[in-house]
Amino acid sequence: KRIEFSVAPMQETSDTVYLNKVAFESHLDDVVVMLRKYTSLEPPSTLPHALAQLRDFEEWKDEFDDSTEKNVDDTKHMTLDSDDGYDQSTSPGQAFDECTVFYRSLLASSAAEHLKANWDQLTEVTSADIDRAAIEDKDPPIVNELSRTKINAVLDSFCNGQCR
């Protein structure tokens, strides 16, 4: 079973909710608190140091020459069979999922803090906005609210591993 998580509230309606600066900061504070339940794990149950152990999950190539094959086999046994903090009752797939959730929740939490600290840049009217308004013969936009749906979509991209 893969571990999935999202910052979008389950009861969110299809109507777009816009957040002013105070509501935006409050929403991001709530997101960070929610993400703490994933980052405050005493390192995930299967590994002593979740982020450091991500390197242990590597897909092995099917083709090896004779000189590296023995080293790879030794490394596999050393990594999976050694008594270095792995909980033998947990499958490697579950351990990997726990590590990636831990890592992604740290990224999402950091992204939320970064968004919160950069409200001014997010709501700044750029020269491109002014040019677009001039071409359309409209007044330049005034941005003092942001869509909660779009904010959650950005944070969910970190939770899902789809951030770019």
pLDDT digits (tens, 9 = 90+) for 31-59: 999 888 777 655 545 545 555 556 666 55
Domain ranges of the chain: 18-57+70-160
Q: Which two tokens stand for residue 23?
A: 């509501």
Residue range 60-71: average pLDDT? Answer: 54
User: What distance in Å separates the CA atoms of residue 149 and residue 18, rounded to the nearest whole number?
Assistant: 8
pTM as predicted: 0.65
Which amino acid, 72? V
Quick one: average pLDDT of 152-163? 84
Q: What angle do CA 15, 17, 21 make, to 5 degrees?
A: 175
Instruction: Tell me the per-residue pLDDT of 97-152, one tens digit each, with 9 for 90 and over.
Output: 777 788 888 889 999 999 999 999 999 999 999 999 999 999 988 889 999 999 99
Pairwise CA distance, residues 56 & 158, whole Å: 22
